[in-house]
Structures are given as structure tokens and as C-alpha cells.
Chains A and B, each alone.
Chain A
């Protein structure tokens, strides 16, 4: 007797979020990426439509990332002092589809660049680099409260993904993101209840749930990956059961976490690339829709993995 494979029928759907706006759409991006829209758990293609593959964005800083381990920074050689050269390398050599720009230099402990300087930098970056853009603040709440709204305004119409906002700090950025036509990253500390609450608070301010991307906060392999995995799985099961308040795509900051691991930083090994790759592929299985990565080789491996996973012919 043939084995009957039980299939789940889902009622809900993850929201579809577009990053980037082309000229026809009022922006100046050469392409856009779409994330989310799935009606099934990851890779269960027969249970429901999964219209878009997970996407990889490469991370670029506005200042030299002096804390990056050598195994990582050597992949970019001498471009790390110049974000424009760095971006060019990501596009020309590493075929980046999307750039994640972290404004680390605005952090009081990392140079404290002024908001005006960062605004001019964003404008120049948008002129010179025409890929869809994720803009991250410095990580300092007080500074980001001024910085992110200003950057959101400077990038008006480009439909960027901007963040992150948190439960205690979201109002100014949300207002600006609504006004300037972007989408928003909502960050919660590996806590599904807070993820849901934050989505409610943001949507109460008038930003539709379809313009929110959840940053569930992750741990790298060996550093709480399973915990992040279970949180993402729980939210995704609720989303597919029609709970719209958690039906946002997930963005995972893979590189940021993976390269903190001491195993990744071990000298004269290839462990960092593997650490970043494995962290990413595991979280794709948990439902990650957008992966912000650092090492180009890890990004390449993950893209290959995604292509193979989606090759259902």
C-alpha cells in the first residue's frame, strides 16, 4: 500500500514586502527584491505556495569595521575604508542583490558622526549605488531616534527597509517611515510575545502590518540558535494559522551574530565562513526570509543552498 503523506492546509499567509523602488515606482533602484508571501512552512512546497526565495543582503559599514576579525575583513581587502569601493566590490565581484548599510559611525562610541553627515552620506550612497537598500542605525537609541527619521527622509521614495525599532523606542522612526514610503524592521529580544506586541504598537500608529519585517534576534550556531529557531517557528505557525499580527517576514542578522563566536574567529581556519553559513541555512529552515550576511563566500554558499532547496523540478 502506498504511503499517504499527510499535508497541512494553511489559512494564513506571510506578508509580502518589497524592498527598493525603481524609476517607474518613484525611486532610483535598478532592481527590487521581494520577501515573504509564503503560505507554507519553509521548503514544504506541496503544502502551499512559496513565491519568493529567501534573499541575502551583504552588510556594509559607513566606517572601517575595526572589530571585524581578520578572517572576515580580508575578504574585502583594502575597500573597508571606503563604503563606495566596498559596495562596488560587493556588486561587481560578489553579485550582491541587496545592500545592508549600517551607520555604525554615528554611534557615540564609534566616532559620533553627526546626523547631517550621515544624511549627506546616505544621499551620496543612493546616487552611487543603485541596489535595494536596508538602512540600519548605530545601535544607540538616543542617536537613532534622530538619525533614522532623518535618513528615512533623505531616502524618500526609495522604499528602503529601515531599522531597527524596539518596544521602548519606535515612535519617531515609525512616523518618518510612514511619511516617506519605506518599510520597517521591528526588533524583539528573542521573544515572540514582544514581537507581537511591537507589531501591534506600530500598526496602531498607522503603519500597515504589510510594511513590517520582524527581526526576531538570533543566536549563532552554538549560541542560542535553537532558541531563536523555536521562536521563529512559533510565530510562523501562528501566522499561517491566520494571525496577521505576527505574519511579517523575518530578517536575520546572520553575520553580526556568527562572527561573534570564538569558533568563527579562530585563526588560520575556515571556521568563520562555515559558522556563518550553517547559522544561515538553519534559520532558513525556521522561516528566515532575508539574511544579512558578512563574508562573501558564506553568502555565496548560502545562495547556492537556497537555489538547490528551491530546485523542486
Chain B
């Protein structure tokens, strides 16, 4: 599974502080730790309190790119931030994200095409978060058909069914898992799927356990990528073991190390 490290986010105190003080070392260390733990890409978000999100996000990307060539996942809902960051990103990036609203798609899909970026499409619109699988599928189909119309390659599209906290929306969890499975049936080639995993355990006491249990179930449903905390060792171990059970990696006695070595 494709692992997008979530830790460079201004919402976290240490990163928020590093952004305001322009503390390169703190950002570099956070990037390298995630890469070492198995991240394939790094999500970059300057946080809600930034006064200048364009320059702060650009600074974060430049800092991260100075120590690793892993894929950058630009996390912003603002098209200006996305474009100014796509311009300075080496290699192809991931745009995180667009919603299913036509005006949003109309701005962000062309950007993804222009910069040959992958795109995360949230199954959400101005009306809010969907409340069941069918609503999610409807929004997913809208995103897919828009992308297909504009000839955006569907294998570069990641649909996100929107994970919700278990203590708020317990009844939705199964709907979300089923959505992951059914998104795959929308088109050929199938779109990929992604989830912001930590949302699932927001506000609970057993965050790590809930995250990894959900992840294992989502992997079985066919999840392709997740934005998660790669420094959560038990989470990564569960992910690697799931890949084994789903026959995506070859077993050996040291399979945990072998996965991290790849």
C-alpha cells in the first residue's frame, strides 16, 4: 500500500512552531523519520494558523526536498497555494485535494493535468459530508466522470470516502469500508482509493489500536493508499502483515524488516 506520511502539518504544535520560526532542522528530521519508517510520500500542510500559506507551504516543500526525493503531497484546499507549490515541486506531486463540487473540479483538475500530478478527490460537496455509501458513490461518480471528460488519467485519481471519527459516526464505518470496495467498480481503469486514517480515531483514547484495526479492514476492502502516521510502529507492522496475508509481498521470517528495506 502507498503510505503518505501525515506528520508535516502545522496543526501539530511542533510543526506549527517550526513553520513560524523557520526551523529547517525540525522539518528535515520529521521528513527523514517518516521516510525511514516506510513513507512513500509526505503530506505537507502549513496549518490553519499560517498568515502566508503560499510562502509557508513553499518553504516546507523546499526544506523537505532538500533531504529526500520522496513524492510531495500538497495539502491545501486553496488553488493558489496548490499552483504556487506545484511550480516548485521536483518530480510529480499529489494534490490533496479537490471536492466533488463542479467549480472546485473546474479549477483543480486542470492544475493536476498541467503539472502531471496525482489527485485526491474527496467525496464531499458544499452540502456536506455524505451520510451513507450511496451518497459517497454518487459523489465519487461525479468526480470520476468529470476527470474522464477532461481526459485526466483515472489511474492518477485517488478517491477518498472521508473517514469519520468512530465516536461521532459509528454507524458510518461500515459504509466507508464498503465504499472503498465499490469505488473500484466505477470505471475502467479503476480509480485508486485513499483515506485520511487518523480521522477514524479522533477524540478517542485508543487511537493507535482503532487506526490499525480500521486500516487492516480497509486494506482487505482494496484500499490503495493512506495518509497516516508512519512512526506508529504497530500500525506499520499491521499494514505490512496485511500485505502479506493479501499476498502482495513475499513472506520471509524477517518480512517486517524486509518491507522496510525495500
A179 within 8 A of B: no
B261 near A203: Cβ-Cβ < 8 Å: yes
Q: Does B13 contact A (CB under 8 A)?
A: no
Closest Cβ of chain A to B188, distance in Å, is: 12
Give chain B residues whose Cβ lies under 8 Å from the Cβ of A244: 261-262
Pick the contact of B252: A194, A204, A234, A242 (CB < 8 A). Answer: A194
Contact B261 A193 (CB under 8 A): no
Contacts of A201 in B (CB 8 A): 254
In the assembly, what is the distance between CA of A3 and CA of B82, in Å?
40
Partner of A197 from the list B249, B254, B262 (CB cut-off 8 Å) is: B254
A227-254 contacts to B (CB < 8 Å): 234-235, 238, 242-246
A 182-221 contacts with B by CB, 8 A: 192-194, 196-197, 200-201, 203-204
- How many A residues, CB 8 Å from partner? 17
Q: Which residue of A200, A235, A242 contacts B258 across the interface (Cβ within 8 Å)?
A: A200
Do B262 and A245 touch (CB < 8 A)?
A: yes
The residue among B251, B252, B258 with the most chain A CB atoms within 10 A of its own CB is: B252
Given the complex of chains A and B, what is the CA–CA distance between A244 and B252 in angstroms? 13
Q: Which residue of B lies closest to A167 (CB)?
A: B253
- A-B pairs with beta carbons under 8 A, tally: 38
Check A193–B262 contact: CB distance below 8 A: no
- Are B252 and A200 interface neighbours, CB within 8 A? yes
| Closest partner residue, chain B, to A247 (CB atom) | B262
Checking A200, A235, A242 against B257 with a beta-carbon cut-off of 8 angstroms, the contacting residue is A200
Cβ-based interface call for B205 (8 A): no
Confirm or deny: B21 has a beta carbon within 8 angstroms of a beta carbon on chain A. Answer: no
Choose among B253, B254, B257, B262 the residue that contacts A243 (Cβ–Cβ < 8 A): B262
A204 contact set on B, CB distance < 8 A: 257
Contacts of B251 in A (CB 8 A): 193, 196
B89-110 to A contact mask, C-beta < 8 Å, 1/0: 0000000000000000000000
What residues on A are CB-neighbors of B255 within 8 Å? 196
Instruction: Please name all residues of chain B whose beta carbon is closer than 8 Å to the beta carbon of A235 when the two chains form the complex.
Output: 250
B262 touches A196 (CB 8 A): no
A174 to chain B, nearest CB (A): 16
Partner of B262, one of A192, A194, A234, A242: A242
B115 CB to closest chain A CB (Å) equals: 20
B253, A245: Cβ atoms under 8 Å?
Answer: no
Chain B residues with CB under 8 A of A243: 249-250, 258, 262
Residues on the B chain within 8 Å of A242, using CB: 262
Q: What is the CB-to-nearest-CB distance from B251 to chain A, in angstroms, rounded to a whole number?
A: 5
Q: Taking CB as reference atom, which chain B residue is nearest A201? A: B254
Complex contact B261–A200 (CB within 8 A)? yes
Q: Is B249 within 8 A of A193, CB to CB?
A: no
- Report Cα–Cα, A194/B255, bound state, in Å: 11
By a CB distance below 8 angstroms, the chain A residues around B262 are 242-245
Chain A nearest CB, measured from B250 CB (Å): 5
Report the minimal beta-carbon distance from B257 to chain A, rounded to whole angstroms.
6
**Distance of B241 from chain A, by nearest CB (Å):** 15
Q: How far is the CB of A227 from chain B (nearest CB, A)?
A: 16
Q: Which residues from chain A contact B257 at a C-beta distance below 8 Å?
A: 200, 204
Instruction: Name the interface residues of B238-257: CB closer than 8 Å to any CB of A.
Output: 249-255, 257
Inter-chain CA distance A238–B259, complex, in Å, is 12
Rounded to whole angstroms, the CA-CA distance of A55 and B218 in the bound complex is 45
User: What is the CA–CA distance of A29 and B231 in the complex, to the nearest angstrom?
Assistant: 49
If A203-B261, A243-B262, A246-B250 are given as contacts, then 13 extra A-B residue pairs at C-beta distance below 8 Å, sorted by A number, are A192-B250, A193-B250, A193-B253, A194-B252, A196-B250, A196-B252, A197-B254, A200-B254, A200-B257, A201-B254, A204-B257, A244-B261, A245-B262
Q: Which residues of B contact A (CB under 8 A)?
A: 249-255, 257-258, 261-262
What would 12 A/B residue contacts be, using CB atoms closer than 8 Å?
A: A193-B250, A193-B253, A194-B252, A196-B250, A197-B253, A200-B254, A201-B254, A243-B249, A243-B258, A244-B261, A245-B252, A246-B250
Q: Kindly list the 6 A-B residue pairs having the minimum CB-CB distance in the complex, ordered from nearest.
A: A197-B252, A196-B252, A200-B254, A245-B258, A193-B251, A197-B253
